[in-house]
Structure formats: structure tokens, C-alpha cells
Structure 1
């Protein structure tokens, strides 16, 4: 069982020992540290925090602990209840709140939960801010309000619909065009809050929806990470229903993947590529994705006359680089779309609306749309870490072995070869080294991954 404290929040498995897992005590402690930081930052006696959660089983328990910790500090809480990460993100500025907390462990299995922390813009905290909160929690440096100064909780369950309406009002979302295309779509929302939000969005766009695992019970019917091996039921259902495509999101609706009409993966990496192709075709500008994302985005951006840049992995790093690069769209290759015209956060609802408009304009099958993009193939692997492994030394040695190639070290080690690349990094959310490779064929990507793993094991002596 695991508890991972990082600058982006606290994530862990439910139950077990305090300080080793995400227990009620840990939830209270970390919520109190965030609330204390927010009181200091805002300078207000009664700042406002928006709180929402995905549908995982532990969500209601963790949310009650978090909200009551905040009101114990004198903070006013706006409770969105079942929500999505991007919905909470847009609610913070719409409510003129001082911060936000999302209770979700994203793509992790049901035994996990987490507190994701937002600033007054509805954006994730930076490293300095996160470090301050960790220090407050470490020192137990919080003082609670007296009985006459306690905060309150106000419920507002309207924000998913407000979020959808905001998406539909974006200039590049053409609802009429999508309606005229008369699309049929199968949705797998892994029994979380995407089951509320995605069908609602699609129906407002005139799409015929077949719902698969759209009951927000928190009992995930398969591993919730939207990868090919987890989406067998969706792939089969698309073919049976003769649907135009399948759509799947992760439990908190910030990762998006498509299935083509033949039941084949469009490719999580290509979600951003397709949306960027559409946006760049309408608006000249630049793009950003992280170091572990496909080269296809670079190719598409340059085709449209823009500039592509890569950031360190992590949404906050992508957002910082997007602002620096004046990027008009960006995100991560895990299906995360960041479209600043809406907000600076990964948002599957925005991605769906842009993709469907693009698809309706192209008037081709999803498989044909995918075939129109540069063909790259990726292999994603990992090595489990043990306390005895000196990860930094392993990565340093790998860098040294590849010193004659183009090497980037802003986040782990990325080596760019002529027709391929490999990126090694220590995960922020799991005790592993992630190994991403990309090449012009799947075989080449897999072989590069295998040879890299052998090199790492040799360096580590395992």
C-alpha cells in the first residue's frame, strides 16, 4: 500500500496505517495544510474553495473529511458533489473562489484516491506552492477557527451543465455541423463521472449515444487507464452497434481516447494531434506537449506554420510552457487536451467537442482521419523501483552512454535519435521508472524499449 506526497497533491491507497496510506487522518492533515496555505496566500479571513470528486467508492468519505477540515479553518466551501477535474477547474474562476480541490486518483485503480490542488485561476499549483503545503503538513503548522468563525458548505450541482454550455459556446465548436453529421457514438465512462458529463455533452451536440459503463457507481468494470488492452468491450460494442466511433475517458475526465469504426484505437497520442490539426487550421499559432508525447504534434504544428516546444511531464509544466510559447493548444500524449480559449487545464469535454467538429468537417471515417496523420508508434513500459535502487545514478549513467546523441534532461533523460526517441523518468505518482519509446514502426519502438530496459538493468546490476 502506498502514500505519495508531491507538489501536485497527495495520492494513496485507502486504508492501512497513517502516514503510509491515504487514511482519514492523512486526508484531514493535507486538507488542513492546503487550507492554511490558502489563508496565508489570500489574506482573507474566509476564503472560498470549490470541492468536487469523481465517483470512486472512497470519494464521499474523503470529500466530507476534506470539506469539514476546511470549514474548521474558517473557509467557505462550494460543494460540487460528483464532478470532473476540468469542471472544478472552470468553477473556481466562475465562482471567483480562492482555490479548489478535486478528489480523484485520475487513472489509478479503485483502491486509490487523491487530493488535487488548484489556485485561484483553477490551475494546478507550481512546485514552490506545493512545497510550502508539504512543509505545513510536515510541521502540523495550522490553527483552526473558533466556533463563531467556522466556515460553511454550499452545494451547487449545476456545474457539469455549466461546463458543457461553456464548451458549446467556444468559437471553434460547431454544434450545427455535428448535428448534421448524424453521428452515432459508444461511450465508456468506466462508471465514473464521465458517465454524467460525456453523454450530456454529446446529446446537446445532436449525437446518438450508446452508453457503456456510464453509471457513476465507482465500481470500475476494467482498469480505468484508457489503454487498448482495457477497452475490449468498447471496441466490440462499436462494431456491433455500427457506430461512427467510440469515446472513452478516465474517471476524472481529463484523459480522452477514441476508437474508430472498426473497433481499433485511434491512439491516445493522436487525440491531441487531431484536435491541434483542427485548431491550427482555423487559428495560426504554436503548440506544446510534454517530452513523452508523439513527434506527430511537432509535424502537424510545423505543417501549419507554427512552432512546437516540449515541456517536462506534468500538466503544470505544460501550462507554464504554453504560456511562455503563446501556444493556442497543447496538452499531453495521454489524451489530455489543453485549450486556453476555455481554460488552462486538460479537458476531455473540450477535446470531444473540437474532435467532433473536425470530424464532421472532414466527412471521412475515423480510421481515414487517423491515416491522414504522420505514422509514429510508441511503446510504454516501466521498471518497478525498490528502495535500494539509486535512480538518479542510473539515469546519469544512461545519459553518459548516449552523450553523442541529442539529450534533454529537464525531466529525467530523453534521448532523440534520428528516427526514434526514448524518454526515461521517475514517476511522480507511482514507485516506477517510466520508459517511453517512439519510432516509425511498432517493432522498432518495441525493440528500442527492450534494449533500453536491458541497458538499465545492466547499469543497476539487476
Structure 2
């Protein structure tokens, strides 16, 4: 049985599974009545991904919002960042995204957006949860029930905002041919629109499944999960390939030789394009590669690190006026366009970087610092991980330790971050060093310590 997970990354659970682990239409309706009450009514944008359960949960979500007196602005199927951009641009009271992002197909969830066009902060989430617990909901009479309005230009609004950015002015875009693997998800239409608007030719790759809602591969856009796209790019002699997660906030790239660069490279390439134009603070999470620090040093700008989670990164960016931020999972945050991880914006950055430098992606990728990163997961209760922190510290002594978010181990020539996931009932382990075998040995060592009785 699954377990509902409710964090600043939203609410996620296994669809229609028996309580207490299931995300049912009844539960979604109640929570959305609560959200409508929490924001005090008004216009609320609702977007969704292409999971088979998303249409069902959309109906439940809108029922709850209407019951609370909200007017629903239906954005249809669109990437998560498209919802956040439209909430701010259309001056709405809030927004809800129906998605479970990178979780498996049988999961779904709700992401809650404030009127500022960002996800609820930790403090706002705490207040929202208290309201849900007390069930102190506002419901309107039948005469006060509002309507559902379609917003057919949601994706168009997003693309226009990107193309108007000062970062992309005066750059003549090359006529590239690009492979797209959107994991049969919400980014498909948006990235196609972006490429066509820039005069590029999109070539779609769907893997083994073409039915919407069915993932043709594992949903995270890691290098290991993009082997199909990599082969496609090489066979078709495309200029590069783009791989998204199902809700389009994360992306990674494949170069023209068919090499998948990995999720970490997405932010590093973005830094290489943005910082020469506007040098300023960079904000990332504790798990993100230390290659960020090396690139930032080239431009004499500071790097700030936060707990894992977009909400923490965004809060710090606002505090220090960060120029660019993101996470090592393929997420890039460019606040002048969108104060959220935005895979469509990250794609636009790469296209303009390739055009500006007039070099193939493989050559540009060689300019970013090289670290070998390994990621692993363990099906281990968070409580058990906490009980074994002292053993991990003993096993990695005399390294330095940071316990702000799980356990970050900083050695002379390596880093390992171990933490409970915010979105799944697992422990995540991320290790990096200059040598691939050494990095793999770090993962093995952590697993041995955590699984040994």
C-alpha cells in the first residue's frame, strides 16, 4: 500500500488505492474545497498532465473549487511551469497542477500555486494543512457557484514570454533539427510550439508507447532513461535531442553524437549562457553538483545552497536576488521569465547557446567541469535512515557533515548526499567525484551501511 506524501512539492499518492494511501476523487474534491477556502475564492487556474487519471482528478478538483466559490480557468493539458506563469500573468488568485511529475504512472497529485505564481511556501503549506485538518471550509450557495472558463492561449502565453526575454535578443537562431522525447507527457505541445516559433524542425520520438498517459520509459529524464532518444538522434543525424519528465518542469539533453549528457548538465549549460550576460548570485540545492561552484567562480559570483525542493530554492533566490537557480535534476529557474523550474525555458536557453556559439552541443558540453555522478534509491523508512546517521558519519570520518537536509558528506575529493525523498517513500543517495569507479564505490558504501543490521 502506498502512502500520501504532502510537502512543498505538493500532494502525491497512488490513484484510487484504499485509504490511507490512496489519492481518490473524493479526497481531491475535499482538498480543493480547502484550497479555494484558503485563498479566499477568486479565479484559479487548473492545468494537468496526460496521466490516465488526470482527467478524472481534474473533474474532482474543479468540483471542489466551484464549491468554494472559485471561478475555474481551465488551462487544459500543459506543462507545470505554464500554469505558474499564467497565474501570475493573468493576475489569478492561485492555481493547481494535476500531476505527480516523475512518479510512476499509477501515482498522481496536486501542486498548489499562490497568486505570486510560485508554489506554496513552507509556512503557507503549514497554514493550509491546518485548515484542512480543521475542515473549516467555505462553501457557497447554489446561486453563487461560478463557471469554468477555458484559456486556450495558456501555452502561447508561455512561449511569448520566453521569446520576449532580453537574454535572447540579437541572437540569430540556427535552423536546427531536434529530437523530442516528452515521455508522452505535458511538454509535447509546448516544446513543439517553441521550436516552430524559432524556426527549428521538431522530430518526435515516443519510444515503445504512443498512447497518451502511458510512459514509454522511466519518467525521470536521466541519461540512463534516454537511451532510446540517444539512439534516435544518432540514427537520424539530428542536431540534438530533448528529454522531459511527464510534467515538463525538468529536461535533459542528448548531443548530436547520441550521448545523453545527464540531468546535471542542463543547469550547467544554462549558467554558461546566462552568467556572461548578467553576473549575479546562483542558487541551487545541496544535492546539485559542485561543478556549479566552478562555473560561478569564472564570473566571480556567489553560490547559495538550500534544502532540496523548488520552494526552498525559490525562497532563497528571492532573498539574495538570484540571477539563476535550479536543481541537479534537470530543473532551471530563470526568474525574469518564470519563478519555477521550467523545462521549456531551459530548452530555449540551450537553443540560443548553440546558435550564439555556432558549435555542436558535444563541443560546448566539453567546456563544463566534469564530475561523475551516481544516483541511487533505497526502500528504507525515513526513521531507519535517521537512526543510522551516526553510523554513516563514523563510516565516512573525517569528512565534513551537513545535516540541514538529510546528511551531506563532504570529503576532500567527493560529495555524498543522503536524504528521504519529498515525493516518494524512498531514500535518495547522490554521490559525485572526479572518477567514475570511485563515485560508484561511494554509493556501494552508503548502501552497505544503511542495509546492514
TM-score by length of 2: 0.95
Spell out, residue by residue over 1:159-188, the C-alpha distance to the aligned partner (whole angstroms, 9 max, x if none): 10110011011011248521xx22111001
Q: Which residues of 2 match residues 370-389 of structure 1 at below 5 A? A: 370-386=365-381, 389=383
Structure 1 counterpart of 2:5: 5
Structure 2 counterpart of 1:244: 239
Spell out, residue by residue over 1:106-133, the C-alpha distance to the aligned partner (whole angstroms, 9 max, x if none): 1112111100001111101111211222
Q: Which residues of 2 match residues 228-307 of structure 1 at below 5 A? A: 228-307=223-302
Tell me the secondary structure at the aligned position of residue 167 of structure 2.
coil
Structure 1 counterpart of 2:175: 182
Structure 2 counterpart of 1:191: 184
Shift of 1:327: 1.4
Q: Which residues of 2 match residues 126-275 of structure 1 at below 5 A? A: 126-174=121-169, 177-178=172-173, 181-213=174-206, 217-275=212-270
How far apart, in 1, do the equivalents of 2:131 and 2:321 lie?
34
Spell out, residue by residue over 1:271-328, the C-alpha distance to the aligned partner (whole angstroms, 9 max, x if none): 0011111100111112111111111111001111111111110000011111222210
Shift of 1:16: 2.2
Structure 2 counterpart of 1:452: 446
**1:311–1:95 CA distance, 2 compared to 1 (3 A):** same
Q: Which residues of 2 match residues 310-459 of structure 1 at below 5 A? A: 310-386=305-381, 389-399=383-393, 402=396, 404-458=398-452
Q: Tell whether the 8 Å contact from 2:103 to 2:424 is kept in structure 1 after alignment.
A: no
Residue 103 in structure 1 maps to residue 104 in structure 2: no
Q: Tell whether the 8 Å contact from 1:160 to 1:197 is kept in structure 2 after alignment.
A: yes
Tell me the secondary structure at the aligned position of residue 28 of structure 2.
helix
C-alpha RMSD of matched pairs (Å): 1.7
How far apart, in 2, do the equivalents of 1:256 and 1:227 lie?
9
Residue 120 in structure 1 maps to residue 104 in structure 2: no
How far apart, in 2, do the equivalents of 1:29 and 1:109 lie?
24
Structure 1 counterpart of 2:26: 25
How far apart, in 2, do the equivalents of 1:441 and 1:363 lie?
31
Give the count of matched residue pairs: 450
Spell out, residue by residue over 1:200-253, the C-alpha distance to the aligned partner (whole angstroms, 9 max, x if none): 101111112111229682122122211223222211110111011101111111
Shift of 1:28: 1.3
**1:391–1:138 CA distance, 2 compared to 1 (3 A):** farther
How far apart, in 1, do the equivalents of 2:397 and 2:315 lie?
28
Tell me the secondary structure at the aligned position of residue 3 of structure 1.
coil
How far apart, in 2, do the equivalents of 1:200 and 1:146 lie?
42
Shift of 1:415: 1.1
**1:185–1:406 CA distance, 2 compared to 1 (3 A):** same
How far apart, in 1, do the equivalents of 2:175 and 2:197 lie?
12
**1:176–1:375 CA distance, 2 compared to 1 (3 A):** closer
Shift of 1:403: 6.2
How far apart, in 2, do the equivalents of 1:23 and 1:3 lie?
12
TM-score by length of 1: 0.94
**1:133–1:397 CA distance, 2 compared to 1 (3 A):** farther
Q: Tell whether the 8 Å contact from 1:3 to 1:10 is kept in structure 2 after alignment.
A: no
- Residues 402-411 or 59-68, more deviating: 402-411
Tell me the secondary structure at the aligned position of residue 23 of structure 2.
coil
Structure 1 alignment gaps of length 5 or more: 40-45
How far apart, in 2, do the equivalents of 1:174 and 1:245 lie?
22
Tell me the secondary structure at the aligned position of residue 279 of structure 2.
coil
How far apart, in 1, do the equivalents of 2:152 and 2:220 lie?
26
Q: Tell whether the 8 Å contact from 2:195 to 2:201 is kept in structure 1 after alignment.
A: yes
Tell me the secondary structure at the aligned position of residue 275 of structure 2.
helix
Shift of 1:396: 4.5
How far apart, in 1, do the equivalents of 2:211 and 2:140 lie?
35
Residue 50 in structure 1 maps to residue 50 in structure 2: no
How far apart, in 2, do the equivalents of 1:248 and 1:379 lie?
19
Shift of 1:428: 1.3
How far apart, in 1, do the equivalents of 2:101 and 2:194 lie?
20
Structure 2 counterpart of 1:42: none
Spell out, residue by residue over 1:123-152, the C-alpha distance to the aligned partner (whole angstroms, 9 max, x if none): 011112112222322333324211112222
